[in-house]
Structure formats: structure tokens, C-alpha cells
Structure 1
Amino acid sequence: MSTEHPSSAAPAPDVPQIDHEHADVSGGWLRAAVFGAMDGLVTNIGLIAGVGGAGVAAHTIALTGVAGLVAGAISMGLGEYASVRTANEQIEAEVAKERRELHRNPVAEADELAQRWIDRGISPDLARQIAQDLSRQPDEALRMHVREELGIDPDSKPSPWTAAISSFICFSIGALIPLLSYLLGSHSLWLALGIGGVGLFTAGALTARFTRRRWWSTGLRQLLLGAAAAGATYLIGDAIGVSAA
């Protein structure tokens, strides 16, 4: 008769670890930050290319860029705040409407929720049972109805202040990049546009960290879009400068 020591038993197979971590997609900062940085870059690259194409002095180009930075950053911050605040207020109004409906017609609302699940393939008995159980928990029932009927999570609304501050800061940083060479004493338009182009590519590549796309693809896309904007404003500035002369 042989006995095995517990330590000699075969090791348990490794259980694969599943990554369930997700990025925060509802906080409101990422969209505002990316949009702000890209808008700051493209806006000031376009401004610099336009006034530079008109043949104005380097001091005037720098002044135009600084004015564009300040005005654009304030506008972006206020716009993001108003936009997100308005969207949140609309969500709150719809949630309040759904709360009233649940209070007035709880049976009909439970049937409506069950029917949505039945349409998705859940068995009728199970769908109705879950809907009835939820109706006994008003807060959870409200959240579920809002998610199913409006497609939103009432507990995950973005912050208007987060969106505004992110947009303000990132626009300012983006708009500053093509101005750097002028602020440091250079008079070269093409150096400023080149630095702006590097900024566009870098900003686009950095977004790949959040979107999990190829960094060079997103960087090249932003560079081409910015180059198109700069080319258009340069040609307009050149035409106006020549005609005004």
C-alpha cells in the first residue's frame, strides 16, 4: 500500500486571469481634453499660417497667436461647461419624468420593461419575474428603466467642471506649441508650422493610448487634418496680403 504526500500531488492548473478593468468613459474629461488640445493646435496653426501667409511681421504673428490662445481657451472652457451642464439637466428632466411614470403606472412600466427583455430573447416568465422583483425596489427600478429606455446611466453623468477645466488647459497647451518659436525669438514661419506639425502628430499618437489604435495611424491622421487647415489659411492669407498690397 502506497501513500502520497500532499506536497507530491499534481499542481492545480493555472486559471487564466481575465482583465475586467476598463477606462473611465463617462467622466467627461477625455473627450474635452482631446478636443481642446486638437482645437488649440489647429486653431493657432491656422492663425499663424494665415497671418504669416499675408507677410506680416513676426511680432504681429506672435500677438495674433497669443490672442487666439486666450480667446480660444476661454471660449472652449465656457462652451464645454454649458454643453455638459445642459446635457446633464436634460438627463435629470428625463429621469424625473420616468420616476413619475413609475409612481403612477408601476404595473404598466414593469410590463414594458419585461417586454424589452423578452424582445431580446429572455424567456417571458423570467423577464416578468425580474421586472416584478425590481418594482419592489424603487431606486433600482428607476435606474434600470432609465438605462433600458434612454440608454444612459443616471449615476454616471459627466462633470461640467471637469470638462471645462480639461478643455481650457488642453486648448491652452495645444495653442502654445506653434507659438513657442516666436516667443523664443525666432522669425521663421516654417519653423513654427513644423513645431505645430510635430505637436499634432504627438497629440494624435497619444490618443492611441486610450483608444488602443495604432499610434502612428492616429498621429498621421491629426497631422494631415492640421496640414489641410494650415494650407487653406496660408493660401487665403497670401491672397489677401497680395491684393491688399
Structure 2
Amino acid sequence: MASLQPEKQTLLHHHTEKHFTAGEIVRDIIIGVSDGLTVPFALAAGLSGANATSAIVLTAGIAEVAAGAISMGLGGYLAAKSEADHYARELKREQDEIIAVPDTEAAEVAEILSEYGIEEHEYAPVVNALRKNPQAWLDFMMKFELGLEKPDPRRALYSAMTIAISYILGGFVPLIPYAFIPKATEAVLYSVVVTLIALLVFGFVKGYFTGNKPIKSALETALIGAIASAAAFGLAKAFHP
């Protein structure tokens, strides 16, 4: 057995697990950019269909991007704040239960471990060890009983900023042609091309980071944007006198 130890150490030395740990940031970026590309794109297409000038489309688009960034950022802040508040409430409740009914909580630990196929004689020492370490016991119950991870206290602010900035960056893409082409009916064609390319690239990157098929994700994202803009353009044409 001793002769195998160096080999095991070598395997452990060379084996490095690669996990993507920025999931929340990527989620916020996806939310911000996807809405930022789609909503102003549909608005600009709709106004173009109503024969508005490029100046009007650009002004309305910038106003929408500003309002959308604030709204989306605030939504991200409130969502993250709600998660933190929920965690704090559950943490306090679990602390009180460990103090008030330790035997019941210990039985819950045993039940959780047994669900992983661990026998009583194997999990009994673990339960006893946790009872001697209240903080570790509390962390165990939060993670394995409630499925809650301790949130970053700065998460709400970071989420709001990430979503808002991502929305702005995405929102200006479909508006760029209107800044250089005075006639909106011409600018909308370039806006469609530029935005669809951006949606394809964004969808591909999104698929890569979320573990989905990048090409499929790119096509789905572009299709959603195309449907939104086509619907807005068609409705504007239909109702414009």
C-alpha cells in the first residue's frame, strides 16, 4: 500500500478540477444584455414602421435604454436583497431550533445523511461531532436541509450595477445606425443586421458559459429578437394612419 502513495499524490497533484464560479454574474449579464438588445431593438423597429425620423427613434431609444437600465437594475437589486433577507430569516430560525430542540435537529441531520446511503454506525459520529460545533451544525443545516448558500452582502449592489450596465451596452447596439443615417426606414435595415449579428454572438457566448449548445443558443436568441422586432414593426405599420 505504501508504494501506491507517491502515485496517488502525483495524480492528486496533476488533477485540477475546473469549475465556473461566476454563475451569478453571468446570469446578470445575460439578463441585462438580452433585454437590452431586444427591447430597444423592437422599439426602434416599431417607430421606424410608424415613419418616425431617425432623430426621434434615437431620442426615444436613448430614453428607453436609460429607463430600462434603471428599472432592470432596481429589479436585480430587490431580487438579490430579498434572497439575502430570506437567508437571514432562515438562519435565525435554524439557530433558535438548534438551541430549543437540539434532539430534533440532530435527528434531521441523521435523516439527511441516511438519504445519501450512509449507515447509522457511520453517521452517528458525524452527528455527535456537529452537536459539539454549533456553527458547523448551523452551516450544515442551512446548506443540506434548506439548500441555501450564504449570500455575498455586496451581491445586491453588484447585481444592480451589472444588469444596468449590461442593459445599456446591449441597448445602444440597435440604435447605432440611427445616429448616422437620417432616414429611419433605411437605418432600420442596418439596425436589423447589426442587432441580429450581436444577438447571434451573444447567444453563442451565452450558450458556451451556460453549458448549452452554443450554435443552438445563438439561433434561438437571434430568433427571439427577430420575432420581437418584426412584431413591433408590423403593429406600427398596421395602426399607423
Q: CA deviation at 1:149?
A: 1.3
* Alpha-carbon contact 1:80-1:167 (below 8 Å) kept: yes
Bigger radius of gyration: 1
Moved more, 70-79 or 206-215: 206-215
Residue correspondence of structure 1 range 17-96 to structure 2 within 5 A: 17-25=14-22, 28-96=24-92
- What TM-score results when the alignment is normalised by the length of structure 2? 0.89
Letter in 1 for 2:170: G
Amino acid at match of 1:29: I
More helix by share: 2
Shift of 1:25: 4.5
Which residue is 1:129 aligned to? 125
Cα offset, 1:184, TM superposition: 2.6
- The structural deviation recorded for 1:133 is 0.6
Aligned match for 1:145, one of 134, 141, 158: 141
Q: Could you say which residue in structure 2 is the equivalent of 1:108?
A: 104
Task: Quote the Cα distance in structure 2 between the aligned partners of 1:140 and 1:73.
Answer: 41
- Residue in structure 2 matched with residue 120 of structure 1 by the alignment: 116
Cα distance in 1 between the residues matched to 2:199 and 2:131? 52
Match of 2:199 in 1: 200
Q: TM-score, normalised by structure 1?
A: 0.87
Pairwise CA RMSD of aligned residues?
2.0
Unaligned runs of 5+ in 2: 1-6
Identical positions, percent: 24
1:84/1:158 contact within 8 Å kept: no
Q: Which residue number in structure 2 is paired with residue 181 of structure 1?
A: 177
Segment drifting more, 152-161 vs 43-52 = 152-161
| CA distance in structure 1 between the aligned counterparts of 2:18 and 2:132, rounded to whole angstroms | 32
**Count of matched residue pairs:** 230
Name the amino acid aligned to 2:33.
Answer: A
Give the residue type in structure 1 aligned to 2:140.
Answer: M
| Structure 1 unaligned blocks of 5 or more | 1-11
Q: Using the TM superposition, give the Cα deviation of residue 186 of structure 1 relative to its aligned residue in structure 2, in angstroms.
A: 5.0
When residues 138 and 87 of structure 1 are mapped into structure 2, their CA distance, relative to the original with a 3 A threshold, is same
* Native 8 Å contact 1:81 1:164 kept in 2: yes
| Structure 2 Cα separation of the partners of residues 155 and 31 of structure 1 | 15
CA separation of 1:157/1:148 partners in 2, compared to 1, >3 Å: closer, same or farther?
farther
Counterpart for residue 214 of structure 2: 215
1:123 Cα deviation after fit: 0.4
Letter paired with 1:95: L
